[in-house]
Every structure is written in C-alpha cells, then in structure tokens.
Amino acid sequence: MSHSPHAHHQHAQSRALVAGTVLFYLVAALAMIMANKWVLNTTDIPLFFLFTQLVIAVVLFLAAHLVGLLQLPLDFDIQVCKGLVPTVGLNVVGLSFSNYTLKYVDASFYQVARGMVLPFTVCTSYFLLHARPSLRVLLACSIVTFGFFIGVFLDGTHVSLVGVTFGVISSIITALHSVVIKKSLEVVKGSALHLSWYTNLFSACALAPILVLAGELPGITQLLFGPNLSLPGEMSTLSTFAIGSAITGAFGFLMSIASLLSIKVTSPITHMVSSAVRGVAASALGVWLFHDIVTSGRAASIATILFGSIYYTWIKHVESLPPSGAKSANGGAYEQVPLEDVEEGKQNKPE
C-alpha cells in the first residue's frame, strides 16, 4: 500500500525533529561539560559557580514567562514547597558533587568517574521500589561496573581518588533522585516544566547559605573585587568565570525546555546511542582542549561502560515489548521517556 505525500512529509518532519533534538542534547551536554571544566580549572569556588548557573537559569525562566513563551507558577504553595524538599536537596548535593568531580578529574575521565550511575540506579530501584532486575540487567550492570574498575584501578594511570570519590557519591545521589523525581512530579501535577522551574529556583536559594558555610566567601571576594591578572593572550579569571557561567546557565535553561520536547520525540535507544557518541566526543575534546591523556586502559574503560549501558538499554527495550503475537495499547512500542531520565537514571536534570 502506497503512502500519501502528506504522510511521507510528516514522517520526514518527525525524523528531522528527532535528529534535531538529539543533536541539540549532544551539543548542549558537551558544551556544559567543557565550559564547566574550563572554569573549574581556574577557580576554587565550584559551589558559587553552580549557584551562578542556577541564578542565570532562573532569570531566563522569568524572562521567558514575562514575554509569554512560558507559563510559570509564581505563587509558592507551602504544600508544594514541602513536597519538593527531597528533590531540591538531592539536586543541590548531586550537582555540587558533580562539579567537585569535574574539578578533580580530567574531562575525558569524567564519564568513568560517574560511570556507576546505572548499577546504583538498578540497586536503588530494587531496594526502594522493589523492582527486581532480570539476570540480563544484572549482566549489563556487571559490565558497566567492570568498566569502572578498569578505569580506576587497572589502567595504571594516576587518577584523583578525591575526584573518583566525589563521582561515586554523585552517582549514588543521581540514583536516589530517580526514585524521588516521580513523586515530585505528582506534587506539581505532572508538569516537568514547573518541576524544572521550582528545582532551579529552590536549589539556588538552598545553595546560597551552603557556599558560605563551605568557606567560599574569601574566594568569591577575591574573584569579584580582587586583581584579575592574566597572562598575555589569556582571559582573566573573572572573564572566564562570567563567560562559563553564561554558557552553562543558558544551556541548562534550554535543556529544561527541550526536555518537554524530548518526551514526545525521542526513545531510550536513540538517546543511548547519542550518549555513546557524546562520551567519545567528550574524551576527544578533553584531549584537544585540555591536553588530557587517554591511555589504552582509559579508552577500554570508557568503551566497556558504554557497551554495558547500550546493552542495558537494548534489554529494557526488549523486555518492554509485548509477547509474540500480542499487541500492546500503543502498538507494541515501548514508552518514550525524557532524555535526562535515561542519562541520569531519573527520570536530568547538566550537566
């Protein structure tokens, strides 16, 4: 049976939309990682850097609301605020530890340092949601774990144990977030946009006193009011900080908006393939921009983690299909999910 020109045109538009969404996430995620690393190489105030990113995202949310691009809830119901406390708390801790991880490890090693997100997410789902994983899922998690151990213990290249520790803790927080995020969506009546708005706003408010308690005030004062010396041909620390904050804050806001689109147009497998491409690209950019050294052991570690992650995604796809000869309500297609859900085990949130 021949397809009508209209149907063919719609199919072409759909493919273009998927390709555009995936490409945007690829570019945005790479820009976030590289801009973060660029700034964190020059400053000792990672929490203030994160605070600045969140404030920029909040300002952009408000600007979009004022010009009518978005409709945000500007009233703050006490029950909503209480219901979002776990999500905001985990978000602040998780993002803070992610920044600390990136500060202490190479950009090319960041994916390895946070490589345990998938196994921790499966464990969290088992213990807190009683979702028993299949043997093939456990095999996929074992492959990812093996890849992590290759990069950390078997490569022979010196790695920052502090950075790896931050990465592991960040992975655990991300896994816990995957449980909390579902209940948080119920608090905001299922609106991912409203959840992103509240999370950015409340996270910025919560982070302000934390960065003071963490002892970053002297560093902030030095950055803003001290002499900003730089080598000939190089940018000052303040300029680097300002540009890096603008880039990551803007991309963080855009990724929040694009997540609404990704729910409709992307699938887990599509995203996992793009994540694999991003992992390789991040390593290549780390070598090019920051002169990272990617040994054969580190390359093997990244490849093993990516293989295990792709295998896991394929398993979940197969397990979601209806039995042979049966059709599900959606025609046998697996449910499409936001890009960040696959990536961070949520269902994120940069970074």
CA distance 118 to 268: 14
Per domain, the residue ranges of the chain are: 15-221+239-319
- pTM, entire model: 0.81
Residue 316 token pair: 């979940």
Residue corresponding to tokens 């660029």: 38
Per-residue pLDDT of the chain (351 residues), as tens digits, is: 545 555 655 666 667 777 777 788 778 878 888 999 999 998 889 999 999 999 999 999 999 999 998 889 988 889 889 999 999 999 999 999 999 999 999 888 888 998 898 899 899 888 888 889 999 999 999 999 999 999 998 877 788 999 999 999 999 998 888 778 878 888 888 888 888 899 999 999 999 999 999 999 999 999 988 876 665 667 888 899 999 999 999 988 887 776 555 555 556 556 556 666 677 778 788 888 888 888 888 889 989 998 998 898 888 888 887 775 554 444 433 344 444 444 443 334 444
Residue corresponding to tokens 């054969």: 296
CB atoms within 10 A of CB 143: 21
